[in-house]
Structure 1
Amino acid sequence: MLVEYAMQHAWLVPLLPALAFVVIVFLTRPWQKLSAIVAVGSMALSCVIATLAAYGIFTNHEYAEKPLVYATRWFSLGLPGMPNLQIDVGVQLDPVSAMMMVMVSFISTFIFLYSIGYMDGEDGFSVFFSYLSLFGASMLLLVISSNLLQMFIAWELVGLCSYLLIGFYTHKISAREAAKKAFVTCRVADFGLLLGILALQIIFGTLNLTELGERIADFEEYTTFGMLTLIAVLVFIGPIGKSGQFPLHVWLPDAMEGPTPVSALIHAATMVVAGVYLVGRTMFLFHEVESAMQLVAVTGAFTALFAATIAITQREIKKILAYSTVSQLGYMMLALGVGSLTAGMFHMWTHAFFKALMFLGAGSVLVALHHKADVWEMGGLVKKMPITAWTFVIGGLAIAGIPPFSGFWSKDEILVATLAEGHYVLFAMAAFTAFLTAFYMWRMIFLAFFGKENPANHPKESPWTMTVPLVVLAVGAIGAGWLGTPWHNVWAEWIYFGHPHHAAANYGAMLLSIVLAGSGIYLAYTLYLKDAEKKRAKAMAKWFGPVYRMLCNKYYIDELYLWFNHALVDGTAKLFYLFDIYVMDNIVNGFGAFAKLSGDGLRVFQSGRMQNYVLIFFLGVLAVAVLMAFTGPSAASLVLGGVK
């Protein structure tokens, strides 16, 4: 009974946190704790409904083949010479959206709970929780949307909330600039997505996901292959920005300027995973265009490796985690690009647990150290903050790919899928990224939590509102991957594109993955823990001076964009300014001034007074008479135009 009710009323899942946003803004804002209770309670209730609905989906295999869709007509518009525009608003439930509902609501619930302790004493406490509620509601609306227009509206709401939360500390210039950077970068990408959505509506006459899937499968009846390729590329531009793929990744590390719970929410359950989800949701489009699939795969593999090389030199704990997220999102895109919706969504699922855990752990450290973020200035925190430290270690084992932790199973699934499709270069890039991931994550762990204590620090463990979410997420980081073990892959039986497919266990790839992860951890141990003075690490940084500086400065991508902005954007603006000053103001305005001056002069002769006209006529006759008297009739005739 409850399961059926939850499935038929899944629209309550995004509605409840949306109502919490309204309640906090208009009713409970003066009472901070009440606002927090409203936010946490609404998201927890959404999680319960989402879990019940997901149970109904995952116990009936027909929903894996044909989704449960219920919708109502939003509006209908008739256009001359074109099919009627009919847009529905509704819910689509299938294993993918059900999994996302549970993941987003579950992770968000514990991030909300954690925020009570983290934001205690901060100005704008209630406003912060209202933004969090709207953020969660927007993402939940996105994942259950049955059509692309509804999804795009939620997509933009997610972008708005990220802007508000990244720039929450309005007194900090860096936070305001980071918020603007995120907003503008994503808007550039969203313009491409919007063009792709408009093209889909114009050509295929619908934006409903199920109908689009059917019509694109027979796209020859509607359009050419070239146009379909262009549409796929335009649609992919949106996820490039939203999910921080190269070259639009630059906003994501700067988003760390917001409060740490915001970073956890963005990186684990909302903003950045929306792009991966959109690509997975529109696999029916990319599947028809092999070149678009290759673009997704190459972009993902390159981004994964590119971000990992930057992360190995970063010093701020949240910046390291941020580049880690960019890299892991690249893994997900790689999986989708090689045609494995199973592997891409699986890694999104496991990543949500261990990345939320690590961001919240980083927040716990920052609170204890009064927001001192440099991992080189930490050390020995495991003694004073054991819960934070050991849960963080669990997250580090998961992301490094050490069995039986969750990240091992999902990352191995991506490597196997890439290898099975014959993408050997991309496989090598992904494998090397796995080594780098283990190295830079455990570099951070050894520097921050182990080794020699910094006597300048006086940390203490965080309150229960912060440690309880850490423990719960640590359990998820351990067990979330067991659904997709190679020997009994329950995940692959439910979440797939086309038909269920799972390659047999590749023990060679599994062994390689473990060796690479272990090697990365051992190298980090050798350089940053065994060598107490870090002499080898400092020597290596000196030996690879130019390369090290390039990685520290993130390949100077931000500087390149800044130069581009100053040289092209500002330069173009200056040209228009000069055109306005010298052309518009002088020439165009000069014509206007001449016309005004001429009008002022001629206005004297067009007064409308009869006596003035008689006087002018008399003076003219007098002038002609005087001319004839002194020069003769011939000159007067010439003056009068030959009239005699």
Structure 2
Amino acid sequence: MSLFYYAIVFLPFIGCLIVGLWGGRLGARGSEFITCSLVVIAALLSWGAFISVAFSDNDALRISLLPWLASGRLHCDWSLRIDTLTAVMLVVVTTISALVHIYSIGYMHHDASRPRFFAYLSFFTFMMLVLVTSDNMVQLFFGWEGVGLASYLLIGFWYQKPAANAAAIKAFIVNRVGDFAFLLGVFGIFVIFGTVGFDDIFAKMLTGQYADKFYFLHWQFSGQKALDVVCILLFIGAMGKSAQFLLHTWLPDAMEAPTPVSALLHAATMVTAGVFMVARLSPLFEHAPIALLTITAIGAITAFFAASVALVQNDIKRIIAFSTCSQLGYMFVALGIGAYGAAIFHLFTHAFFKALLFQGAGSIIHAVSDEQDIRRMGGLRKYIPATYWLMIIGTLSLTGFGIPGTFFGTAGFFSKDAIIEASYGAGGALAHSAFWLLVIAALFTAFYAWRLIFMVFHGKPRAPVDIMHHVHEAPPVMLVPMVLLAVGALFAGVVFLPYFFGAEYQLFWNGALFVSADNNILQQLHFVPLWVQWAGFAVMAAGFAAALLFYIIAPALPAQAARLLSPLYKFLLNKWYFDELYNFLFVRTAFAAGLFLWKIVDIKIIDGLGPGAIAARVAAVTDRVARLQTGYLYHYAFAMLIGVTAFITWIIFGSLN
């Protein structure tokens, strides 16, 4: 059994090592075959693990690999924690990664650096598997930083492009901000509980056998506040990884990476790490009410903010990227109100339809000679019909198409509506505010999703004639993974709803997600009013109708609306001006500080007045003294004569006194 799980985790790493070290000798085809085969095997094994773990009443399995750290009170092994939450994440990560690997064979066909690309993809997969199988905070942090490194390598894969390098650096720096807070949270956990192992932490949490004091800088927090501070620090780390409001700015720029990277990063790996972390540590967050309120507020704001920005974006990949940001907001709202099963359920379904949308976008970009501006597309439906219908499926799932109260609906319908209803049923002013923000975000989502479909596939072609002559459907190696994702985007919701967030909830999760006795979110859903259940459907239909009006029936309306609402349009087009604000507050400030330290402190003070200045004066004096050593005899004789004269004069005047 241990070898079974070792294979799931380490097969992608073996592929990464083989191709990373010998990719030049293996060639592109050999590199593709090795990495794809190993990840596909890991995906098949993951489904086997999911069936055996999630649909049984066995306790969590822990498999120790080797001793890792032993320093003072800190002891931890590298162990694999296998429970239902891990099994779900194994399926999500390996399945999406396998389909992305296969899809990349076609998408990256003309790239000369394919071995390096596939090695990076497998490395990304491995580090995410390390993260989701972690049994302690140190291992979790190792995987956390590993996916950050992998994302940096993949976002900057085309390092010849300045924009790709800038995007990779931006993602790395913004995530360092969140990761610093996350590391402080890890330190806080060790201070409070005296351990980093999940089982030990949870046991002490339940029995109250932990220190109730935590020092942060010069402040002391006691009791409940100590847990709140630690959990908020951990959540700030999740804000960076999962691109939540205020730490979201790296995500749109990450679109400089090849499109398969976007499909993997947005659907199954880095951006879902924050959601997984909060769910894994649910016993802690359940006892940190202020942290939960913070998570709810940030998640709701993120869902609304990102959806509003996506309304007017023109880059096809950026539209879908902001959609990811918004959907992650939904997940964090669910976590904040204690609906952990709904959060992971939406993570599960989102992986299918978001990977499908990104791969569909890649197929479109591939067809129109690398064009990404939807204003230069149009009329592509008859040229790439397979991609068109697959994108329709992804859009239906993203917008939550389905009939409330029935089993008819796409995957996104069941998971997203569960979160909307749970936010209303949770009660409280903040939860109700989150409910309305999520409903508005659902309206925006339907509008921008159908706007993309109508502008890309309908109407008259707006691309140059020479590009339209070369428009072609994606090859089977790209279409087959999209078809498999479409199956998940259609049916994953109705099949798994009873288990993730329904009647089989307790048996399915089997303690992997903790819910306190007073958190009866599932029972509250039975008392949600009928209008709340239909709210998602209503705004979905309204968004579709608005997009149909603006881009099919009256295509002149968008330009007129942009002129009429010019300040608002520019505000949204410039993403609420967060990049400009951060550039003013942090980037320019950092450059100004660096310039001051260089020009004033270093050159004028240290070099001008400090040790550098003293050294310069000594050098000047010695240089002048050295000039006296001319090598000419008459110069030395003249100097001796002056000396003798001075000596005699001193003797004479001395004798007179």
TM over 0.5, shorter chain: yes
Give the letter for the 2:656 counterpart.
F
Match of 2:314, SS state, is: coil
Quote the offset at 1:601 in angstroms. Answer: 12
Work out the CA distance in 1 between the residues paired with 2:442 and 2:539: 7
Displacement after TM superposition at 1:508 (Å): 2.7
Indicate how the Cα distance of structure 1 residues 171 and 347 shifts in structure 2: closer, same or farther if over 3 A, else same.
Answer: same
The more displaced of 280-289 and 361-370 is: 280-289
* Cα distance in structure 2, aligned partners of 1:203 and 1:595: 57
Residue of structure 1 in register with 2:424 after alignment: 419
* Residue 148 of structure 1: aligned partner: 137
Deviations 1:506-533, CA, capped at 9 Å, x for gaps: 43322111001111111101111122xx
Match of 1:494 among 508, 513, 530: 508
Q: Find the aligned partners of 2:190 and 2:514 in 1 and give their Cα distance.
A: 23
Q: CA deviation at 1:36?
A: 0.9
Local SS of the residue matching 1:10: helix
- Point out the more displaced range, 335-344 or 353-362: 335-344
Q: In the alignment, does 2:562 pair up with 1:541?
A: yes
CA distance in structure 1 between the partners assigned to 2:476 and 2:273 by the alignment: 30
Which of residues 588, 595, 608 is equivalent to 1:586? 608
Kindly tell me: are residues 493 and 394 of structure 1, through their superposed partners in 2, closer, same or farther at Cα, counting changes over 3 Å?
farther
Query: How far did 1:357 drift?
Result: 0.3
SS in 1 for 2:79: strand
Aligned partners of 1:72, 1:558: CA distance in 2, in Å?
Answer: 44
Aligned residue pairs total 603
Q: Which residue of 2 aligns with 1:552?
A: 573
Q: Which residue of 2 aligns with 1:573?
A: 594
More off after superposition, 475-484 vs 585-594: 585-594
1:131 equivalent among 120, 127, 130: 120
Structure 1 residues 87, 549: closer, same or farther in 2, change over 3 A?
A: same
Distance 1:622 1:74 in 2: 87
1:593 shift after superposition: 5.2
After superposition, residues 20-169 of structure 1 pair within 5 angstroms as 20-29=15-24, 30-63=26-59, 67-72=60-65, 74-79=67-72, 84-169=73-158
Counterpart residue type for residue 446 of structure 2: A
Is contact 1:492–1:502 with CA below 8 Å preserved after alignment? no
Q: How many Å apart are 1:59 and its aligned residue?
A: 2.5
Segment of structure 1 superposing worse, 501-510 or 203-212: 501-510
Letter of the aligned partner of 1:584 in structure 2?
A: I
Q: Is the 8 A contact 1:73 1:87 kept in 2?
A: no
User: CA 1:502 to 1:567, structure 2 compared with 1: closer, same or farther past 3 Å?
Assistant: same
CA distance in 1: counterparts of 2:372 and 2:616, whole angstroms? 63
Letter in 2 for 1:558: D
> What is the match of residue 610 of structure 1?
none
Alpha-carbon distance between aligned partners in 2 of 1:601 and 1:261, rounded to the nearest angstrom: 68
Q: Which residue of 1 aligns with 2:7?
A: 12
User: Partner letter of residue 530 of structure 1?
Assistant: I
Contact 1:492 1:501 in 2 (8 A): no
The aligned amino acid for 2:384 is: M
| Compared CA separation, residues 10 and 222, structure 1 to 2 (3 A) | farther
Shift in Å at residue 332 of structure 1? Answer: 0.7
Aligned to 1:410: 415
Show the counterpart of 1:181: 170
Alpha-carbon separation, structure 2, partners of 1:461 and 1:446: 18
1:282 aligns with 2:281: yes
24-33 vs 320-329, which deviates more?
A: 24-33
Larger CA deviation: 591-600 vs 546-555: 591-600
Q: Counterpart amino acid of 1:302? A: I
Find the counterpart in structure 2 of residue 519 from structure 1. 542
Displacement, 1:305?
0.4
Q: With structure 1 as the length reference, what TM-score do the two structures score?
A: 0.89
Kindly state the Cα deviation for residue 220 of structure 1 after the two structures are TM-superposed.
5.2
- Of residues 476, 481, 500, the one that matches 1:469 is 481
Q: Is the contact between residue 89 and residue 150 of structure 1 (CA under 8 Å) also seen in structure 2?
A: yes
1:430 matched to 2:438? yes
Structure 2 contact 23–116 (Cα < 8 Å) conserved: no
CA spacing shift, 1:11–1:535, aligned 2, 3 Å: same
Alignment check: 8 A CA contact 1:412 1:509 kept = no
**Alignment-mate amino acid for residue 472 of structure 1:** L
- Counterpart selection for 1:442 from 450, 453, 472: 450
- In structure 1, distance between residues paired with 2:61 and 2:308: 43
What does residue 313 of structure 2 align with? Answer: 314
The sequence identity of aligned pairs, in percent, is 36
Contact 2:422–2:521 (Cα < 8 Å) also in 1: no
Query: Quick one: distance in 1 between partners of 2:124 and 2:561?
Result: 43
Say if 1:294 and 1:623 are closer, same or farther in 2 by CA, change over 3 A. farther
Work out which of the residue numbers 205, 218, 221 in structure 2 matches 1:216.
Answer: 205
Distance 1:502 1:576, change over 3 A: same
Question: CA contact under 8 A between 1:92 and 1:146: conserved in structure 2?
Answer: yes
Query: Matched residues in 2 for 1:194 and 1:184: separation?
Result: 15
Q: After alignment, is 566-575 or 104-113 more displaced?
A: 566-575
Q: Distance in 1 between matches of 2:71 and 2:110?
A: 55
Query: Which of these residues, 506, 510, 522, is aligned with residue 533 of structure 2?
Result: 510
C-alpha displacement at 1:566, in angstroms? 4.3
Distance 1:237 1:257, change over 3 A: same
Whole-Å separation in 1 of the counterparts to 2:21 and 2:397:
42
Q: Distance in 2 between matches of 1:198 and 1:619?
A: 79
Cα distance change on mapping 1:580 and 1:379 into 2, 3 Å: same
Counterpart for residue 368 of structure 2: 369
1:428 is displaced (CA, Å) by 0.7
361-370 or 334-343: which moved more? 334-343
* Residue identity in the other structure for 1:406: A
Unaligned runs of 5+ in 1: 603-617, 632-644
Does structure 1 retain, via aligned residues, the 8 Å contact 2:55–2:508? Answer: no
